[in-house]
Structure 1
């Protein structure tokens, strides 16, 4: 593992983050330009003296300029980056870094495999885990995940998952503090991992998203994976040829959804786009449509509201904590029908959407980058104070 520069030591008994110049931030990997990736990069830049350690980075994620100078890649070999091998390979790679992690007074972990780098509690330093969600393939979506593997692969996957779960639970027990991104995730952490947590909502670049006008389209920005239910959105718009849908993202279902939308000129797939184009698409939409299954938090709805655009969402998960029904959007029941979705889109006319602009912009200010950074610094300071009392 190579880092640029050697972190300076600190006096743990000081307990003040202002003197903190030795922080290690561990994150699984950077393969897309997603919310979790943005959160980690914000934290790495805002915490003075922070070294960012990650499994690998691909060209589809953020470029090198977005990373802090003190950034270390474990360079996980390409053959091990496949979805069936990646999490186990990363867990092993991070486990090998426990010795180095133990030399750093403050360790922050983000992701599923990165927590394996956490050294034992009570032997100096503090372990802080920012939990985006307990791994859904291990817990609430376990049956769904195994069913997709088929009979033979499912048996092998089940064995690997049990082994990984044992290591993951042990890593979580080594944490001094667990941070959740929402009350929804906090409840999952309590239910599946038996740990309490503090809630610090993720940072949203509210200043980067703004009203740009009002085009003639509705927008979907969710990743094209089964849990995001973009297929439901595509199906509804296929039956509404007078309403335009722009899908701006990528993922494993891109090819399937593109075929499903064939012959529907009102549906456009843009794939992954750069930040400037994403901001323009959000800022000029009528509204956004975001219907994930029990979303952990969901940055996309907040970005939409920051641009003054209401959200057609679903009344479960993180959206219950961000979208205000009939003020900044519409929340469908979790078991919504295709007709209910079409009715919601039809009712969200350009005039109604524009009338929600001010409320949307105001609501987004509850989830700014500044509030996230202040919240995380407060967590670190408290962890240091607790460690100082025990020293």
Structure 2
């Protein structure tokens, strides 16, 4: 058993105590600074939950759709001349250049004592001396660091060096590696969403261990009624290339496994085409929370193939619903899944996923629905609230300025 698996077991056994003995919310004047709301995903859930826990307003760089937040964030882009470029904010180069300037001043943050940063862009903020900065880290920037090799696997040859786009991309990533390291000292406490992200934060940003805490994201475990069984496999995810919906499709093509795909994103057409040509594949598009719960509770298993996942809220939601997971043996997924217990670990190959689907159909897993739900409970919303309250109180206490002057 790895150190991370032991920590998961310790948290699992202590989850009820953490929920019952939660400290009172610190009496602090806090504001949540969330990078942006380009969609409704795990990072957005964390930001909105932080706002609920600390009764704090939300400031964000860019809000693509009002429905993506359960709050009414103050948007930095709205009051900026750069608002005329809103249609280009799907491009990370445009977005990041704006954030470098917009977040460093961010006037809506100036009147608060505690800044709860969510995501990377708020790191540019230059705080007042008396402000306490607690950063919730979903992951350090990935393309300049741990995923750099994926796009630049080979040393650039003369053909690449003649392509302006390639050169600009390499220069951007090189600059990003240096600039991010120069902004770490202003953060008082780095709260990482998993031990995997904590390791990246140490390795790539040079943050010392004493400034790092791990608090798993909040999952609405109590909203799920665990059920046994099911007659279909579910792929539920933002449909980005890194999620590999195509591998799930190839795994069930020509088999008797029914696959339901739910989600939206850049690979939507891949899912739509598969659903139009394969009788055992259904595409549901983006689904609201109530429909998502029904899909998870009725599935035989969740197929989760994301690359080097930081944490993975969807697998936890599946287990809360009593549904085991077929997941890749990398990132935090390999620590969430206990082979044969709450799911099956696979390589990201269609043949391997297909074999796991056969095994799940024929033999199931060792844990029943109630045990899966109990394992998921360690990632609950009350646990998140209790641990974040404790971290923020610790940070506020540690950053208080004590001045000892003698009376005459």
What TM-score, normalized to structure 2?
Answer: 0.82
1:81-100 matched pairs, under 5 angstroms: 81-84=89-92, 85-97=94-106
- Which 10-residue stretch deviates more, 83-92 or 264-273? 83-92
- 2:34 maps to 1:34: no
CA distance in 2, matches of 1:83, 1:283: 36
Aligned length: 362
Q: CA deviation at 1:80?
A: 3.9
**Which segments of 5 or more consecutive residues in structure 1 lack a partner in the other structure?**
1-15
Cross-structure match for 2:244: 229
- 2:181 maps to 1:172: no
Q: CA deviation at 1:258?
A: 3.4
CA distance in 2, matches of 1:171, 1:364: 35
Q: Is the 8 A contact 1:308 1:357 kept in 2?
A: yes
- 2:315 maps to 1:304: no
1:41/1:145 CA distance change after superposition, 3 Å: farther
What is the RMSD of the two structures over their aligned residues, measured on CA atoms? 2.4
**Which segments of 5 or more consecutive residues in structure 2 lack a partner in the other structure?**
1-23, 154-159, 404-408
Cross-structure match for 2:219: 204
Cross-structure match for 2:198: 186
CA distance in 1, matches of 2:343, 2:384: 24
1:310-367 superposed Cα distances (whole Å, 9 cap, x missing partner): 01112221113322221111112xx453322111001112772596312211100110
Q: CA deviation at 1:280?
A: 0.9
Q: Is the 8 A contact 2:33 2:118 kept in 1?
A: yes
Q: 1:74 aligns with which of 66, 73, 76?
A: 76
CA distance in 1, matches of 2:259, 2:287: 16
- 2:115 maps to 1:107: yes
Q: Is the 8 A contact 1:56 1:75 kept in 2?
A: yes
Q: CA deviation at 1:212?
A: 5.4
1:238/1:202 CA distance change after superposition, 3 Å: same
Q: Is the 8 A contact 1:107 1:118 kept in 2?
A: no
- Which 10-residue stretch deviates more, 78-87 or 242-251? 78-87
Q: Is the 8 A contact 1:28 1:113 kept in 2?
A: yes
Q: CA deviation at 1:61?
A: 4.4
Q: CA deviation at 1:184?
A: 0.7
1:94/1:350 CA distance change after superposition, 3 Å: farther
Instruction: Tell me the SS of whatever aligns to 2:219.
Output: coil
1:199-227 superposed Cα distances (whole Å, 9 cap, x missing partner): 00000000122235644211011222222
Q: Is the 8 A contact 1:55 1:75 kept in 2?
A: yes
Cross-structure match for 1:278: 292
Q: 2:270 aligns with which of 244, 256, 260?
A: 256
CA distance in 2, matches of 1:162, 1:357: 47
Q: CA deviation at 1:116?
A: 1.3
Q: CA deviation at 1:30?
A: 1.2
Instruction: Tell me the SS of whatever aligns to 2:124.
Output: helix
Q: Is the 8 A contact 2:261 2:271 kept in 1?
A: no
CA distance in 1, matches of 2:183, 2:88: 22
- Which 10-residue stretch deviates more, 102-111 or 150-159? 150-159
Q: Is the 8 A contact 1:210 1:306 kept in 2?
A: yes
1:1-391 matched pairs, under 5 angstroms: 18-20=26-28, 22-48=29-55, 50-59=56-65, 61-62=67-68, 66-67=70-71, 71-76=73-78, 77=83, 78-84=86-92, 85-97=94-106, 101-119=109-127, 123-145=129-151, 151-195=163-207, 196=209, 197-211=212-226, 214-240=229-255, 242-259=256-273, 262-332=276-346, 335-349=347-361, 352=364, 356-388=368-400, 390=402
Q: Is the 8 A contact 2:53 2:385 kept in 1?
A: yes
1:165/1:61 CA distance change after superposition, 3 Å: farther
CA distance in 1, matches of 2:25, 2:227: 39
- Which 10-residue stretch deviates more, 51-60 or 108-117? 51-60
Q: CA deviation at 1:265?
A: 1.5
CA distance in 2, matches of 1:321, 1:247: 25
CA distance in 2, matches of 1:350, 1:93: 55
CA distance in 1, matches of 2:216, 2:253: 35
